[in-house]
Amino acid sequence: MKIATFWTALVATSFSLLIVLAGCTPTVPELQPSPSPGPVAVKQTGGASALIAECQDRQYIISTADYIVEGTVRGVESKWNEDKTSILTYTDLSIEEYVKGAPFAQDRLQIITPGGTVGDITQVVEDQPIFHEGKRVRIYFQETDGEFHIVCAQFGVEELDFLP
């Protein structure tokens, strides 16, 4: 199983790299929030263009973020999109602390990232954060035109269990 997952990830990454090298951009499906009412939806898109050199600089991430929150991952579920052409992962987060930014009406986020596993099918999208139920995390995200996105994809998420 681990070998199959490795090869699936390798093929998906190679395909993404070929698209970038060919000068094409993959079509990213419209991300729809899960039907659960209430939490703020943080939507991610993926691909090589998501990461820039500045993302290696923690100060850049902090200053770019409109919100910095800390919380616990309460649930992670991957599902097919409506067209069954791609997999999206829905992560529910309970916010425990607002480090930067005004509190929301509810202390919950739903983070929607492309990629995930449904049954025995895995879709890998490079540079995306991967969340695990029960883990405490700090997330740096920004608001653009009423939508929320994690700053610098995977670099905009820190697992608090590993910080000194």
Between 37 and 93, the higher pLDDT residue? 93
Q: How do the domains of the chain map onto residue ranges?
A: 28-162
What pLDDT shows up at residue 51?
59
- 78 in Cβ contact with 118 (< 8 Å): yes
- In angstroms, the CA 45 to CA 49 distance is 10
What pLDDT shows up at residue 149?
93
Q: How sure is the predictor about 151, in pLDDT bands with cuts at 50, 70 and 90?
A: very high
CATH 2.40.50 fits 28-162, yes or no: yes
34-56 per-position pLDDT tens digit: 444 567 888 776 655 455 788 88
> Burial code of 100-112, b = ≥16 C-beta within 10 A, e = fewer?
eeeeeeebbbbbb
